[in-house]
Amino acid sequence: MLRLAGGVLCGGASVRFGSDKALAPVGSAPLGRVVANAMRDAGIDPVVALGGEAGHQLGLPVVPDRTPGEGPLAALAGALSWAGEGWLLVTPCDLPLITSSHVELLVEGLADDRARVAMIDGHPQPSVAVWPASWARRTQVAVDHGQRAFRHALTLGEWDPVQLPAEALADADTREELDRLLDSPGGQATTT
């Protein structure tokens, strides 16, 4: 049976936002919960918070960063090690418009030892991707050699592009951006 877990990235500093983005209210739920719900509504279980402190307040199990402050590639390495087998869908906590339909597109057709990476207008978005847990060691080796950026993960193995609409990956780096996204056409996030 396919093992597929979900991880909501909650370890960022949220400096431009002014407070923890994962806990920002979106309707009746915090932003991180909106992202977790999109995963759960697509049938992904378990869904965990990756890093940070917000996961407990979101009601999610927390997989702590093994090396806090070392960047997103280090967070991915730790998360893949935690997953152990199968695949791990990773998304940032600040995507108020992502839906279960977008998640389903990402996880559709998982095979072998290949990642599936969200694409917008021909550009890969490696922070929104399904990564094989088998890449944990090679990801950690890259971190040990000084790599920090998510985009480096794209060089670690084969991956398939998944075209998603731009609004699915519109991130809220500031409170103003979050308000603008929620006020845009189609901007009502699912908050169940």
Query: What is the 3-class SS of 133-154, one letter each residue?
Result: HHHHHHHHHHHHCCCCCHHHHH
Domain containing 117 — which CATH number? Answer: 3.90.550.10
Q: Is residue 36 included in any domain, yes or no? A: yes
Whether residue 18 has pLDDT greater than 60: no
Phi, psi of 138 (to 5 degrees): -65, -30
Whether residue 19 has pLDDT greater than 80: no
Higher per-residue pLDDT: 54 or 162: 162
Whether residue 146 has pLDDT greater than 50: yes
Give the range among 16-25, 129-138, 146-155 with minimum mean pLDDT: 16-25
Confidence grade of residue 188 (pLDDT, cut at 50, 70, 90): low
Question: How many domains are contained in the chain?
Answer: 1
Q: What is the spatial distance between Cα 73 and Cα 50, in angstroms, rounded to a whole number?
A: 12
Instruction: Give the pLDDT mean for 68-93.
Output: 91
Neighbours of 110 (CB within 10 A): 17
Q: Is residue 190 included in any domain, yes or no? A: no
Q: Is residue 98 included in any domain, yes or no? A: yes
Q: By residue range, what is the domain housing residue 168?
A: 4-183
Q: Is residue 188 included in any domain, yes or no? A: no
Higher per-residue pLDDT: 67 or 62: 62
Please choose, from the candidates 113, 146, 143, 144, the residue with its C-alpha nearest in 3D space to the C-alpha of residue 130: 113
Residue 51 is predicted with a pLDDT of: 82
